Structure 1
Amino acid sequence: MPETMSAPAPHYGFHRNCTCMHPRKKMGMMHMTFFWGHNAEVLIDRWPGTDPKMYAVSLAAVFAVAALVELFSCCKLTVRAGSNRNFAAGILRTVLYTLRCGMSYLLMLAVMSFNGGVFLAAVGGHALGHLAFGSRVSKKPDGPGSAKERTDLPPTGC
């Protein structure tokens, strides 16, 4: 009687013993839906961990970065005539644009932790940052009929 060989079971996602990502670390199942609680990893492996104080620090950091993204989105630079100043202003705009893009990507990755608190901290930071730096509430009117709402940096893709 010939022996029958069975096909190996298909591999769908991470299993308890999967070492696909790191040779010495066993991977668990990643959250694919929003969850609540302070046991989360935000951007850095094992951070904030299980300490509620460090979780609060991570939420404050996400909130602050979101507010900074709004600040960089709404900043205005004044440039006086002169080629050296235009070049320096162009370099400064490029640096601010690069910082804003980098922080936006970090926020996106933090929200992809699927922690509800991190999501609310990011949205709250954007809201407060927009209120403080980008809304008409926080700006002085330049005069009747003035339309100086343009920033120096290109708009974000929200």
Structure 2
Amino acid sequence: MDMAPSSMPMSNSSPSDYHGMNTKIIMRMSFYWGKDAIILISGWPELRLGMYVLALFLVFLLALTVQVLSVSPDVKIGMNPIVGGVTQASVYGLKMALAYMVMLSVMSFNVGVFFAAVIGHAFGFFLVKSRALAIANKTAAASSSAASVAAKV
């Protein structure tokens, strides 16, 4: 069954229509600069600089949140195993969903989005590790002061 392309039904709108304008949406396969990216949602950030900056900020926050969620919640002794497991699985599921959203954003091949994601991951890593270091230092200081008090007694 050989059908000629002209015999196929055509509609008045095409996927390349952008809010009534006859523009083509270009999906790039190499890195590029510019605000004409499509990030996660078709037609967004709408070729406007303000929306592009908002998109970069949201990608930054998504990447930062992925790193913050990488520290799994503590399971307390005596906690119901089902509740602990559901809590950890929920946090993990949220972390993975956000990580995939960051990955899909970076797949727009926009250099600004790439930098926003990398800087967001780095800043989130810094926040998590500096907090862990502060807690470790506080614990070490408390244990060394307790040991010095015990040695004096």
- What do residues 23-47 of structure 1 show as CA deviations (whole Å, max 9, x unaligned)? 8314654211111111111000010
User: For the residues of structure 2 that align with 1:143 and 1:78, how far apart are their CA atoms?
Assistant: 22
User: For the residues of structure 2 that align with 1:91 and 1:99, how far apart are their CA atoms?
Assistant: 12
Residue equivalent to 1:143: 140
1:36 corresponds, among 22, 33, 47, to 33
Tell me which protein shows more helix as a share of its residues.
2
Contact kept in structure 2, 1:132 and 1:138, CA below 8 Å: no
1:49 and 2:46 aligned = yes
Equivalent position SS for 1:41: coil
Larger Rg: 2
Residue equivalent to 2:93: 98
Instruction: Kindly tell me the number of residue pairs found equivalent between the two proteins.
Output: 120
- What do residues 48-93 of structure 1 show as CA deviations (whole Å, max 9, x unaligned)? 02111110110010000100000110243131214xx222111010
Residue equivalent to 1:24: 14
When residues 43 and 95 of structure 1 are mapped into structure 2, their CA distance, relative to the original with a 3 A threshold, is: same
User: For the residues of structure 2 that align with 1:87 and 1:97, how far apart are their CA atoms?
Assistant: 15
1:76-91 to 2 correspondence within 5 Å?
76-82=73-79, 85-91=80-86
User: For the residues of structure 1 that align with 2:132 and 2:81, how far apart are their CA atoms?
Assistant: 30
When residues 80 and 59 of structure 1 are mapped into structure 2, their CA distance, relative to the original with a 3 A threshold, is: same
Residue equivalent to 1:114: 109
Q: CA RMSD in A?
A: 2.1
Give identity over the alignment, percent.
34
Show structure 2 runs of 5+ residues with no match. Answer: 1-12, 17-23, 142-153
What residue identity is the alignment partner of 2:45? P
Show structure 1 runs of 5+ residues with no match. Answer: 1-22, 145-158
2:67 corresponds, among 50, 66, 70, to 70
Residue equivalent to 2:123: 128
TM-score (norm 2): 0.71
TM-score (norm 1): 0.69
When residues 24 and 53 of structure 1 are mapped into structure 2, their CA distance, relative to the original with a 3 A threshold, is: same
Equivalent position SS for 1:113: coil
